[in-house]
Amino acid sequence: MRTIKYIVVHCSATVEGKDFNARDIDRWHKQRGWKGIGYHYVVKLDGTIEVGRPENVIGAHVKGYNSKSIGVCYIGGLSKSLAPKDTRTPKQKTALYNLLCELKDKYPKAEILGHREFSKDLNGNGIIEPFEFSKACPSFNASLEYKNLCD
């Protein structure tokens, strides 16, 4: 069994209001030359949770951290003008919260982080600050929002 140190929240970087699913992401990732969908879970606009890769299979969602993480992706993350935006629907927020609670129960030592928090610490102060984000994903502060998840 893998040791899970991180539960990583992603967005699909798709425009708000346009629904996609795990099959779509699987196709996109295969087009990039990957074996298939890199995420373990996908949260659709209506709150439906779809399974991507099985949890026991290493994901492909955060370079250098895949072997010790679970990847969760919500559909959305971009405004209609293609700017990063928290586009989660109320149903997505509820489903994501519940899924993360379940994963945290299963992996109690795992830290919940957003993909952007794996950016490089450019100034070496030990903190990944907004100006250092190499990606906006998941377009909200996941570590802050889920800091005391299910306490």
The domain ranges of the chain are: 6-145
State the distance between the two ends of the chain, measured CA to CA, in whole angstroms. Answer: 26
pLDDT per residue as tens digits for the range 116-144: 887 554 456 655 555 444 567 899 989 88
Kindly tell me if the per-residue pLDDT of 66 is higher than 90.
yes
Model pTM score? 0.90
Mean pLDDT of the chain: 88
Q: Assign a CATH topology to domain 6-145.
A: Lysozyme-like (3.40.80)
For residue 58, CA distances in Å to 15, 68, 95 come to 28, 8, 23
9 close to 96: Cβ distance less than 8 angstroms: yes
The active-site residue, picked from 6, 39, 41, 74, is: 39
The pLDDT of residue 117 is 81
Kindly tell me if the per-residue pLDDT of 24 is higher than 70.
yes
The pLDDT of residue 45 is 98
Instruction: Give catalytic status of residue 11 as yes or no.
Output: no
The active-site residue, picked from 29, 85, 115, 146, is: 115
The two tokens of residue 5 are: 């140190």
Instruction: Give catalytic status of residue 29 as yes or no.
Output: no
- The strand pairing partners of 69, in sequence order, are 6
Residue closest to 17 by CA, chosen among 44, 42, 40, 48: 44
